[in-house]
């Protein structure tokens, strides 16, 4: 599975997941963009953080596999292009590659990292944050358990790649990067709606093998299963996020 297989709808994304860009500020700080730098925003989405890089005086190209998201980024006046992160065609032209909340959709990491390495100039930086080991563990477990009751192998339908720092660090080093930092950051994240809205936005693939007429009832089963774990007495939902944040640079 990969990001391009997900149904990305910018308006729905903003309604249920507008927090993603807001919580990306620390990784922007880690990048420390400088005026005049040429930066690739890998998995730019609707361009909210790409705009911040442009505002910092950088020359930025945003790429994403979702055509609707790219259309939304272009509507902001950004240089945004539909590109599969597994097949980056840039060569030796960026001072930095930045990515927020996108690399876990790219399930062939060696191909992604090799493309980033090619895209960077010697000494160029690769700074990113994405879902790490243990990310949304309760949600994934509930999805898999409910689908299993209905004879569907939910684990095989998962679209995500959630590695440990050691695992991703090994991929980076194999491609020729020096890894400066890599850590898991537990970050329970309040949801603006509920876990059902979150699943509608991010978990399409789990319901792909279920007949259309059964999807609403299965979704409701998952929500009910998670209610005692992720919903408080006031009806507020919190997703069990764990992020992997790293900084690396291309060897000269």
Is residue 96 included in any domain, yes or no?
A: yes
Task: Residue 48: give the domain boundaries.
Answer: 3-136+160-190+241-250
Residue pair 191/223 in contact by the 8 Å Cβ criterion: no
Q: 37: domain CATH number?
A: 3.40.50.150
pLDDT of residue 208: 85
Token pair of 235, please?
């009806």
Is residue 178 included in any domain, yes or no?
A: yes
Is residue 200 included in any domain, yes or no?
A: no
Is residue 103 included in any domain, yes or no?
A: yes
Is residue 117 included in any domain, yes or no?
A: yes
Is residue 48 included in any domain, yes or no?
A: yes
Q: What is the mean pLDDT of residues 229-245?
A: 96
What's the structural domain count of the chain? Answer: 1
CA atoms within 13 A on the CB side of 249: 10
Is residue 148 included in any domain, yes or no?
A: no
Q: How many CB atoms lie within 10 A of CB 129?
A: 24
3-state secondary structure of 252: coil
Stated pTM of the model: 0.89
Kindly report, residue by residue over 34-54, the tens digit of the pLDDT. 999 999 999 999 999 999 999
* Cβ partners under 8 Å of residue 187, min gap 6: 23, 241, 242, 243
Q: What is the DSSP letter of 2?
A: B
Is residue 168 included in any domain, yes or no?
A: yes
Kindly report, residue by residue over 46-101, the tens digit of the pLDDT. 999 999 999 999 999 999 999 999 999 999 999 999 999 999 999 999 999 999 99
């Amino acid at each position: 599975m990969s990001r391009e297989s997900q149904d990305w709808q910018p308006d729905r994304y903003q309604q249920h997941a507008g927090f993603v860009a807001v919580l990306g500020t620390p990784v922007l700080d880690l990048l420390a963009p400088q005026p005049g730098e040429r930066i690739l925003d890998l998995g730019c989405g609707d361009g909210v953080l790409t705009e911040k890089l442009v505002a910092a005086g950088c020359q930025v190209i945003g790429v994403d596999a979702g055509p609707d998201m790219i259309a939304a980024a272009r509507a902001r006046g950004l240089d945004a292009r539909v590109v599969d992160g597994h097949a980056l065609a840039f060569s030796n032209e960026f001072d930095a590659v930045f990515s927020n909340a996108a690399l876990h959709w790219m399930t062939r990491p060696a191909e992604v990292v090799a493309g980033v390495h090619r895209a960077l100039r010697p000494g160029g930086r690769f700074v990113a944050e994405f879902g790490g080991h243990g990310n949304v563990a309760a949600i994934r477990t509930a999805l898999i358990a409910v689908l299993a009751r209905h004879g569907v192998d939910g684990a095989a339908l998962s679209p995500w790649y959630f590695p440990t720092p050691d695992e991703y660090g090994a991929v980076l080093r194999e491609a020729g990067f020096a890894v400066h930092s890599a850590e898991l950051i537990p970050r329970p994240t309040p949801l603006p709606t509920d876990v059902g809205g979150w699943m509608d936005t991010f978990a399409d693939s789990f319901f792909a093998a279920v007949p259309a007429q059964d999807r609403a009832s299965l979704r409701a089963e998952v929500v009910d299963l998670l209610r005692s774990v992720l919903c408080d007495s006031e009806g507020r939902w919190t997703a069990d996020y764990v992020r992997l944040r790293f900084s690396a640079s291309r060897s000269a």
